[in-house]
Amino acid sequence: MSVTVTTWCLEQTSPADLTPAGEAHGITIVRAEVPSPEFSRYLYASVGADVSWTDRLAWPRTRWQEYLHQPGVETWVAYERGTPAGYIELEAQQDTQVEIAYFGLLPAFRGRRIGGHLLSYGTARAWDLAQRWPHRPPTKRVWVHTCDLDGPHALGNYQRRGFRLFETRTEQEEKPTPPAW
């Protein structure tokens, strides 16, 4: 089935652009420092199952491994009492940009103000990424894209964190069928 999809591209061009959300009580955020294709696929599939994330589901383990071992790719995971609640994936690009490649919460954790906290924390980690990757130049731009297939609060959360719109596009796409489970 073909659907009309609007995609918004947003950016920050200075660490001062970040407007942090309040902390989410009982939530800890930890970097997954050991690249794990299985864990990353679990996060991707679990967060994206009901919002049409399907592009990486066909990736073989070797593709996940290759991607996760790229310098400047980081996965930061939010936990509530030991349970993964969501994640933010940063992807350093060849220049001084960092893309928030994926960000979201598992369905049971949405609507509890965890998303604003995780996005704030993850965006701050995009800005200080060069401190963890010594051969990287300092970040000059953090950007992200979201679309109307994502959660209904995604665009607003990015804007409340200080991201500014720089491009909007509307296209016809085949709507993927989320896998049932």
In the predicted structure, residue 5 carries a pLDDT above the cut 80: yes
* DSSP-derived secondary structure letter, 177: P
Kindly give, in sequence order, each residue whose CB lies less than 8 Å from that of residue 111, ignoring residues fewer than 6 positions away.
Answer: none
Average pLDDT score over residue span 47-64: 91
Whose tokens are 């070797």? That residue is: 62
**Least trusted range by pLDDT, from 2-6, 25-29, 168-172:** 2-6
CATH number for the domain running over 2-174: 3.40.630.30
Nearest of 71, 157, 68 to residue 118 by alpha carbon = 157
User: CA-CA distance, 160 to 150, in Å (whole number)?
Assistant: 17
First to last CA, the chain: 21
Q: What is the pLDDT of residues 12-49, one digit of tens each?
A: 999 999 999 999 999 999 999 999 999 999 999 999 98
User: CA-CA distance, 35 to 165, in Å (whole number)?
Assistant: 32
β-partners of residue 102 are: 89
Average pLDDT score over residue span 136-164: 94
Residue 164, pLDDT score: 98
Residue 181, pLDDT score: 45
Average pLDDT score over residue span 51-57: 87
User: CA-CA distance, 101 to 91, in Å (whole number)?
Assistant: 6
The residue ranges of every structural domain in the chain are 2-174
User: CA-CA distance, 125 to 118, in Å (whole number)?
Assistant: 10
* pTM for this model (two decimals): 0.93
